[in-house]
């Protein structure tokens, strides 16, 4: 815990190489950057331990495709970092031997990125035919090994927003207790490059996101959350907003190959997102981060409505 009583979460980026090619990927323009070396990553794991990290989240690109992935996780666990997790497209876990080895490394939880309830939707977004089938097999393999700490995240774009209720059923069927429905970030990468094709109006996406949350609650999965949303579209779900929750619990640092951010939560609110004159007098003003700056440039702020 730091002096404010928050837990330190270090997000360790291994590099930007990936076996998928998601249309909305925030790292779409960074693929050619060099990957971190094993030595670099081991040093950073040690540094995270010395800084008192409670959570180490290992991400890419796709970190699980690295031959040293297991070594990095095992090193973090050996040092005693309490929670070591990874965000993944899940494809590597389709190989039972790989799933077994990763589980044996001591990883505490795995966050699967699922972008549609079926292969047609998911694979069209990942631009990797077969990726949905591999992801499902990966989840099954982990379950068969007795590994149940599986979470989910979904990037919400025009192409999948109407499918969110069906995706919620997928998560329910697969007993995924923690899911985040993430409104696409158009400030960087694929969604910035192809804004019109990918970014939905928040007023169109929000009802599907709320419906997905409601389906989760009905199934007893009330820990599901939405992320990167203006609160006026979620005023009846304030207990299920990732940003509010994480601000209370975590200080989050991002350690990437090309940048370091010692306060990823604070800088996102200060630089990446914005409230506007329409927010004046809103009772949710202090809790709300507004909406993405790039969204405002393209769509304006007419959908924001001060909550009285
Ligand atoms: S009106 Fe502005 S401050 Fe209020 S909830 Fe909407 S975006 Fe947030």
Q: Which residues of the chain have pLDDT under 70?
A: 2-3
Q: Are strands 260-261 and 250-255 parallel, antiparallel or unpaired?
A: antiparallel
Q: What angle do CA 95, 99, 105 make, to 5 degrees?
A: 145
pLDDT at residue number 116: 98
pTM of the model: 0.95
Q: Say if residues 156 and 211 touch (Cβ distance below 8 Å).
A: no
pLDDT in tens, 60-102: 999 999 999 999 999 999 999 999 999 999 999 999 999 999 9
Whose Cα sits closest to atom 2 in ligand 1? 279
Domains, the chain, ranges and CATH? 7-273 (3.20.20.70)
Q: Say if residues 280 and 301 touch (Cβ distance below 8 Å).
A: no
- The alpha carbon of 301 and the centre of ligand 1 are apart by a number of angstroms equal to 10
Q: What angle do CA 151, 155, 161 make, to 5 degrees?
A: 115
Q: Please name the residues in contact with 218: beta carbons below 8 A apart, sequence gap of 6 or more.
A: none
Regarding the beta carbon of 296 and ligand 1, being less than 6 Å apart is answered no
Residue 198 phi, psi dihedral angles, 5° rounding: -110, -35
Which of 39, 50, 45, 36 has the alpha carbon at shortest distance from 11?
45
- The alpha carbon of 16 and the centre of ligand 1 are apart by a number of angstroms equal to 33
Regarding the beta carbon of 235 and ligand 1, being less than 6 Å apart is answered no
Regarding the beta carbon of 90 and ligand 1, being less than 6 Å apart is answered no
Which secondary-structure segment (H or E) carries 242? helix 242-249
pLDDT at residue number 75: 98
What DSSP letter does each residue of 65-76 carry, written as one string? GSTTHHHHHHHH
Ligand 1, residue 307: give the atom nearest the CA. 4
- The alpha carbon of 207 and the centre of ligand 1 are apart by a number of angstroms equal to 16
How far apart CA 249 and CA 195 sit, in angstroms, is 32
- Mean pLDDT, the chain, as a whole number? 96
pLDDT at residue number 2: 67
pLDDT at residue number 10: 97
Regarding the beta carbon of 230 and ligand 1, being less than 6 Å apart is answered yes
SS3 state of residue 77: helix
């Amino acid at each position: 815990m730091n002096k404010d009583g928050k837990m330190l979460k270090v997000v360790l980026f291994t590099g930007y190489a990936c076996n998928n090619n998601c249309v909305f990927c925030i790292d779409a323009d960074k693929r050619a950057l060099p990957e971190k070396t094993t030595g670099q990553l081991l040093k950073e794991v040690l540094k995270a331990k010395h800084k008192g990290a409670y959570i180490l989240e290992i991400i890419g690109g796709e970190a699980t495709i690295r031959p040293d992935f297991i070594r990095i996780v095992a090193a973090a666990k050996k040092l005693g970092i309490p929670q070591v997790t990874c965000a993944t497209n899940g494809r590597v876990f389709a190989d039972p031997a790989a799933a077994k080895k990763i589980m044996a490394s001591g990883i505490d939880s795995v966050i699967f990125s699922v972008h549609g309830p079926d292969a047609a939707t998911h694979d069209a977004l990942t631009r990797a035919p077969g990726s949905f089938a591999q992801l499902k097999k990966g989840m099954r393999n982990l379950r068969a090994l007795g590994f149940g700490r599986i979470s989910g995240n979904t990037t919400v774009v025009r192409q999948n927003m109407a499918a969110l209720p069906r995706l919620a059923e997928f998560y329910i069927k697969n007993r995924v207790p923690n899911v985040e429905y993430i409104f696409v970030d158009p400030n960087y990468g694929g969604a910035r490059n192809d804004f019109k094709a990918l970014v939905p109006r928040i007023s169109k996406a929000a009802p599907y996101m709320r419906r997905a949350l409601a389906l989760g609650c009905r199934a007893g999965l009330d820990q599901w959350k939405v992320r990167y949303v203006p609160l006026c579209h979620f005023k009846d779900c304030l207990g299920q907003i990732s940003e509010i929750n994480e601000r209370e619990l975590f200080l989050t640092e991002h350690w990437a190959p090309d940048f370091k951010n010692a306060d990823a939560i604070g800088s996102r609110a200060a630089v990446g997102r914005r409230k506007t004159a329409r927010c004046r007098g809103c009772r949710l003003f202090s809790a709300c981060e507004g909406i993405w700056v790039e969204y405002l440039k393209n769509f304006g702020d007419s959908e924001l409505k001060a909550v009285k």
